[in-house]
Structure 1
Amino acid sequence: MWLLDVQDLGEPDADLTTALTLKNGNPVYALSEVERAAIHAVYALYEAMLGQPDPGLRPAALDAVRQFMHDAYSQVQIGGRLEDLRARILASTQACPYCGFGEVKDLDHYLPRGTYGELAIYPRNLVPSCGPCNNAKRAVYPGMPAAQGPGLIHAYFQLLPDEDFLHADVEFDADGTLSVTFRVDSPGMDPALAAKLQFQLDRLKLNARYRAQVNKYLSEQRTAMLMLHGAGDAIFSEFLQRSSAALAASYGRNDWRVALLRTLAADPAFCAAPEAYLGLPV
């Protein structure tokens, strides 16, 4: 959740040529050497800006080709001339980085191709994502009016502090139902980054979408948890802490599962009687 390894660029020059050349060899648009160099300069600036907006990403030298680059994204779809690029990016992760559980089927343009056509097929502007997250994010872009929100973090380039900033607030209702709400809270974090992370949780409606995931996850863990609880509350709490740490090694310390187990391990009511809550709807 949150971050992915930076995408391998592959062969950008070859991708440009393939995107703008029909299978019969006829050009859709014949790039000049000046335009090709300008596209590479845009790619380099994108890296330097860590994917954030900059006027230099829309140089005048690319005014003629911008729409063709925008339209070339159709070749990244299944059956297109660049479908291998799509397959490679989707295969780079097993779960959507925006939510941490969704099946990756879409490619999200972090900077929208409607504005930045030059980046329509650039691998590091394409974030593998699930359909619900991609649909929820569509109208969100870096630099949008502040009244609309601060935008989402870049899954490839955002620097996140090595600390626990995702927290799960758990309440137990009288009927044994768990109520779980995730939030971002880190006193030492830059307020602008904290606002962006919380905005991402809210914009993608993750708290509502996590309910089914929490139910499913706790149901899968139910047998092991109840067996370990027989050894005593303290050992059970330690088991939850160690499970949280093990998941953090695989998914990061601010994955939703990690935050959930971290909270449950510190909750006396749950550690005293997990059987009263496990297996019931969240």
Structure 2
Amino acid sequence: MRNLKAFSKTCIDFFDEVVSSKNDTINDPTYKYRISLLKPNVEKCYNVYNKNFKNKNLLITKSFGYTNPNKDDLKKLYSYRNSKIQELKKTVTTTHYNRIINTCQNCTINEAKTMDHLLPKEDFPEFSIHPQNLFPSCNVCNGHKSTNWVKNGHPLFLNLYLDPLPLDQYLFVDIKIDLRKKNIETNFKLDNNCGIDKVFFSIIESHYSKLDLLSRFSKNCNDTVSELKNTIKSSLEESISLNTIVNVIKRKCIKDRDHLGVNHWKIILTEKLIEEPKFFKLD
């Protein structure tokens, strides 16, 4: 899990670009005209969002309260396949190495094939295409989140544009290996033993809980376990000592943290596996 860089250009210009990319249809020949009538007020809403985003306080953002048909018109502006939305996704997921992060950073499991509305478009249709309100996500995370985002004045999820992720480890895993059954059981867990701010850690806990991440990590362990076993076996076949292999894997985990994040579940799992003597006895 890592932070992504937020859209940094003029947000209302992006709104205009998306609107320009739309076409009136035979069934709805006045759609773009209706949107043009809504724009002056939408721009005011954007100014409020921009200020709150800059101050890292989206929680105080109030919905304008659009009702149909205007609400539906604004929601209809969003389409994941829209060329401008795709350009936005590419912009925010391109690293300083000019490589694209195509994995959903909300979970670090699946491919990001949609956009999450940080403030849900059902409640905030005015921000359905606000570029700083759109975060690349997978369908699973979007399904878990739905329209939930705040409870009792506290955010339910991390905002990976605004919330700097801790450099301390808070994700851990316990493993149980049964040599007879050739089975590995994993139990991922969160632990604030490094003293991360309690309020922020509660948001981390909520994020992992609401998206069912700990269980999803365990369900997706097989590839990581198999790849690690194959790496070790192949290296041993080349007469490389086990001690050297383990040291190389440890160094790789350290380097992987630079681009995957300190608390990436695959790194946490890999490091735990190579600490377990039984793992090296598995076929």
TM-score, normalisation: structure 2 = 0.79
Paired residues of 1:22 and 1:28 also in contact (CA < 8 A): no
Q: Say if 2:276 is the partner of 1:267.
A: yes
Deviation at 1:99, TM superposition (A): 1.1
When residues 108 and 78 of structure 1 are mapped into structure 2, their CA distance, relative to the original with a 3 A threshold, is: closer
Q: Say if 2:210 is the partner of 1:211.
A: no
Partner residue, 2:23: 23
Partner residue, 1:6: 6
Partner residue, 2:27: none
Deviation at 1:109, TM superposition (A): 0.9
Structure 1 CA distance, aligned partners of 2:20 and 2:37? Answer: 8
Paired residues of 1:89 and 1:128 also in contact (CA < 8 A): no
Deviation at 1:159, TM superposition (A): 1.6
Q: Say if 2:148 is the partner of 1:160.
A: no
Deviation at 1:161, TM superposition (A): 1.8
Q: Say if 2:205 is the partner of 1:198.
A: yes
Q: Say if 2:76 is the partner of 1:74.
A: yes
The aligned amino acid for 1:156 is: Y
Instruction: Find the residue that maps to 2:77 and give its secondary structure.
Output: helix
Deviates more, 1:156-165 or 1:226-235: 226-235
Q: Say if 2:255 is the partner of 1:246.
A: yes
Deviates more, 1:179-188 or 1:29-38: 29-38
Partner residue, 2:186: 180
How do 1:79-94 and structure 2 match up within 5 A?
83-91=82-90, 92=93, 93-94=101-102
Q: Say if 2:42 is the partner of 1:43.
A: no
Structure 2 CA distance, aligned partners of 1:212 and 1:235? Answer: 30
Provide structure 1 residue ranges, at least 5 long, that are not aligned to the other structure: 278-282
Deviation at 1:125, TM superposition (A): 1.0
Structure 1 CA distance, aligned partners of 2:72 and 2:134? Answer: 13
Structure 2 CA distance, aligned partners of 1:137 and 1:108? Answer: 9
Deviation at 1:227, TM superposition (A): 3.4
How do 1:85-124 and structure 2 match up within 5 A?
85-91=84-90, 92=93, 93-124=101-132
When residues 186 and 265 of structure 1 are mapped into structure 2, their CA distance, relative to the original with a 3 A threshold, is: farther
The root-mean-square deviation of aligned C-alpha atoms, in Å, is 3.1
Partner residue, 2:59: 53
Deviation at 1:204, TM superposition (A): 1.7
Paired residues of 1:170 and 1:181 also in contact (CA < 8 A): yes
TM-score, normalisation: structure 1 = 0.79
Paired residues of 1:164 and 1:253 also in contact (CA < 8 A): yes
Deviation at 1:212, TM superposition (A): 4.3
Deviation at 1:40, TM superposition (A): 3.6
